[in-house]
A and B are shown apart, each in its own frame.
Chain A
């Protein structure tokens, strides 16, 4: 309505010089007109210049009189031509009207209030006050002299007023299509979406965060690496046994009892339960022999092997303890079958914690057990595995590990750092580990291990391990973490 009148007027006229006057003459509330003007200006349909001018406005009392008439006239009208008692009159009009109206009516000599009651002094009055007030309310000009009484009676006040001068804008149309903000069910039902114009989105505005769930970044990488193993035909080992005996963690791996890793500086030994309850005794006897005096072509370590050292419980320092259990179990089967095993689970080290070390972390381990495996096979499978982790260029450095021979550190060329960085350890399990288990002599095991945290830190550019794992991880890091792209390239 307001929009139509503005656009219609501008169709035939150059400009609307004063929106206030325009509103008054068109009988539109100026507030309503102002909203329309702002909208039209936003779409550049009109050019609107703001201006301010001062004007008379009705105060609350004035508004009441404009609507209901001045109190003196109200009072006058309540008095019948033949008079009325004061009490009767008070019942007919409200107390404010009576109080103010009687005073002004007497002053203007409209009525007389005497002892006998109230009686009219004139036959008829025109309510000029109401008329003036209504004119001012409509924004019409009232003569200066007529304003005097209104000012005097504080029915009006002088205030600034915002108005607009309007002319056609660059995108002027005589009738605009209504711009919708959203496509609604009603639009679809009515089919009017075809005729509608849709408001531009403000794409730079801050987006309200959506309420969703999140997975932990480290575990997202675990999932990706797990799927690499599965694609390569590896079977997961049951690693949900954090408490382990020294026997399975060390002795079974041909790790001598004086080895530094068995120091309390490196390993969490347990007060409760302090020692293991049972070990496979036949196997223990073979392990004892290979440590003490050698067997299977080995010289052994030539020291006195102590059962109580092997019985000591600990928090496993590597998942290779589980590998040993699995290989032992495999060796007890009637006939040998090749296996590819993997695990990704937690291990514990009693080391000083710093930016890259925690007392617990996740170890990734892979191993293949078959007849006649070679070092070339190990290199080949590592190349395959690490290429899927995005590390295509590998080298192998000879290293030492008590339960593998050969042992080698795996290095990968880091394109960002422009150097070779160590990414894991690998080797072939020693015969002194495999043969006491009862595996056939021609069976070899190639294996490798790395931590889950280090590649994840490299992947996401995190330089403090506590920002990735543990109670100090910032929720925003979890929320903002991108999907793991391992296996996508």
Chain B
């Protein structure tokens, strides 16, 4: 879940009142966000740098609220969005209507796209905010929002990259191109000297923030780049903007472009930027559109624009989504009976315009989903908003009426019974991990990895998580090692699954339920484990079936001591083995005393 840092006083100012922390937490809880932490700017810096706490002198520090928001609510990734949503939720503000600035079609700014961009980042969207009044706080918020969007929906800029520019420093039409790196030269943001694009990437290899994004384009023969009509570079997406068009506190007119591989997400990102910050435009909530001209049919059926924009790719797409939803689709799943007149104000609290659809004969509500609410995909999302606005605490609790009977999986019942038997035989149950290192699973128990047995992890974080165990033995020996000073005799067991490659299942691997027990003392305890094996074989016998006599046979397995080991047979099938653990295995696990170990496939005994 993303966390947004907002200044408490700014937030309360925007909400038109102040709250105690408890009151604010309660408001967050009802709305579905969470006050995660209360801190100060100094505190954040101090934590980042691992400095000692300062004594005093922090009274003048602004208190920062760290607020956790839902991962699909991009409209809540900045103070403006949170404050707006809460103001509407508590009834202090009407739902804003975002509209296009009226301009003659011929003066609309254009982004011309070249064919080559399809090789690297095929789409671009853009918009203009006119007459923005920046101050220190909202300027920082503007920068932070881009950062949050880049981290979340943009998937660290792989899917979408945002560039913002001072429109008064550049001239339309703009051109979105893909060129070989040696042909791109400009002064990047925060630098004073000019770089060639390939050299710039090399330069950023040591930049803590930017080096993470280099992989997105570095192996491509062409890099995406945006120029203005004078061949001034605006940006090298998704890496960096140019210094020339950089915005500042004095910027009045902002050009926003988003290059992307995923047009849906780019539109959401652009909408989020413009709907949030058009709040500070001279003409509030007004956005100037930009036309994108492709050289081919790349627009991807996106010419949803109507009227004078028909057939053109005009952005942002501020169109509301209209849903006609029967009242029962909203109220029935919640389990409350509400009339249309009650539901509409609840929808409004959640920023959804709604009205009764007349003439249908049924109770149907026409809901308008604004472009800020990209999280709403289905009427069930609208239903949730009504439930939230109504208040979860007020929904009467009922009991599902369906009669069903309980039951357990036979394998689990069986293995629980075996667990009972083994613990009654005086063994202590342990519980170990499925994931282990390749060495533990094979070499340390003197087994060879032939590549045909174990499930192998592709992206292990450490060697502890290389394979899924194919035997319970390493886990029990590790557990013993950690308790090596415990009073002898040590008798432990585990009932659990191993996983083996299996060509018959749909995924290519399957679980197998195993029982393993280990005896450790100053002597090997072979008879102890033999006794346990006999006990298990005795209790898994079925009436009216011939007894499973002669169930052991000498074996020759590498993890056991020669001539001190046996296979266990059940219905003529080998289901397990036991024996004195080989001294070389004990040595690998650092165990000084002799042990006897048994492992049985209990699934086969079921």
Contacts and interface: CB of A to CB of B under 8 A. Distances in A.
Interface of A: 209, 211-216, 218-219, 223, 226, 229-238, 240-245, 258, 260, 264, 268-279, 294, 296-303, 313, 315, 338-340, 346, 348, 350, 352, 358-360, 368, 370, 372-377, 379-381, 383-384, 395-400, 402, 405-408, 428, 430-432, 444, 446, 469-476, 478-479
- Across chains A and B, which 5 residue pairs bring their CB atoms closest together, nearest first? A398-B32, A374-B335, A376-B335, A273-B508, A400-B70
Given A213-B427, A240-B513, A277-B507, A302 B475 contact: no
A360 B402 contact: no
A385 to B, nearest CB: 11
Contacts of B513: 240
A375 B380 CA distance: 12
Nearest to B325: A297
Given A374-B332, A376-B398, A243 B388 contact: no
B281 interface: no
A225 B487 CA distance: 32
A272 B456 contact: yes
B377 A432 contact: yes
A215 B459 contact: no
Given A234-B406, A241-B511, A377-B335, A273 B427 contact: no
B436 to A, nearest CB: 10
Contacts of B152: 260
A190 B482 CA distance: 53
Nearest to A470: B433
B34 interface: yes
Nearest to B486: A475
12 contacts: A214-B428, A234-B406, A238-B411, A242-B497, A269-B457, A273-B508, A300-B377, A340-B404, A400-B71, A406-B383, A475-B428, A479-B428
Nearest to B408: A236
Contacts of A432: 377-378
Contacts of A232: 406
A397 B1 CA distance: 14
Nearest to B369: A299
A213 B72 contact: no
Interface string B413-434: 0001001001111111111111
B378 A430 contact: yes
B200 interface: no
A298 B71 contact: no
A377 B400 contact: yes
A243 B499 contact: yes
Given A375-B335, A381-B400, A383-B397, A405 B378 contact: yes
Contact of B434 (A346, A372, A407, A475): A346
Contact of B501 (A214, A260, A272): A272
A431 B380 contact: yes
A199 to B, nearest CB: 29
Contacts of B294: none
B155 A258 contact: yes
A380 B397 contact: yes
Given A216-B429, A226-B408, A359-B435, A271 B336 contact: no
Contacts of A215: 419, 423, 429
The contact size tier of chain B is 35 or more
Given A375-B335, A432-B378, A471-B432, 18 more contacts: A219-B429, A226-B408, A258-B155, A273-B455, A273-B501, A275-B508, A298-B378, A299-B378, A373-B333, A395-B29, A400-B72, A406-B388, A407-B384, A430-B378, A444-B333, A470-B432, A471-B478, A475-B492
Interface in B357-402: 375, 377-381, 383-384, 387-388, 392-393, 395-402
Contact of A244 (B264, B388, B393, B507): B507
B53 to A, nearest CB: 23
Contacts of A264: 458-459
A316 to B, nearest CB: 10
B398 A374 contact: yes
A245 B459 CA distance: 16
Contact of B482 (A377, A428, A472): A472
B434 A235 contact: no
B162 interface: no
A405 to B, nearest CB: 5
B396 A376 contact: yes
B73 A233 contact: no
B39 interface: no
A238 to B, nearest CB: 5
Interface string B146-165: 00000010010001000000
Nearest to A411: B29
A233 B507 contact: no
A338 B402 contact: yes
B220 interface: no
B32 A375 contact: no
Nearest to B490: A475
A298 B382 CA distance: 12
Given A223-B416, A359-B465, A242 B262 contact: no
Nearest to A382: B397
A473 B430 CA distance: 8
A379 B333 CA distance: 12
A400 B460 CA distance: 28
B105 interface: no
A235 B406 contact: yes
B249 to A, nearest CB: 33
B412 interface: yes
A374 B333 contact: yes
B461 interface: yes
Given A258-B262, A379-B392, A243 B486 contact: no
B458 A301 contact: no
A242 B434 contact: yes
B451 interface: yes
A272 to B, nearest CB: 4
Contacts of A399: 32, 70
A397 B32 contact: yes
B384 A272 contact: no
Nearest to B331: A374
Contacts of A235: 404-407
Given A243-B455, A298-B378, A380 B511 contact: no
Nearest to B422: A213
Contact of A338 (B71, B404, B460): B404
A360 B475 CA distance: 14
Contact of A274 (B409, B451, B458): B458
A241 B378 CA distance: 32
A276 B468 contact: no
A384 B507 contact: no
Contacts of A372: 332
Nearest to B153: A258
Contacts of B378: 296-299, 405, 430-432
Given A234-B406, A446-B400, A398 B392 contact: yes
Nearest to B458: A271
B506 interface: yes
A268 B465 contact: yes
Nearest to A276: B507
B251 interface: no
B431 A470 contact: yes
B411 A240 contact: yes
B555 interface: no
Interface string B61-82: 0000000001111000000000
A294 B428 CA distance: 53
Interface in B484-511: 486-487, 490-492, 497, 499, 501, 505-511
Which of A340, A398, A431, A470 has the most chain B CB atoms inside 10 A of its CB?
A398
B232 to A, nearest CB: 33
Contacts of B55: none
Which of A213, A223, A234, A383 has the most chain B CB atoms inside 10 A of its CB?
A213
Nearest to A339: B404
B134 interface: no
B395 A375 contact: yes
B457 A270 contact: yes
A471 B479 contact: yes
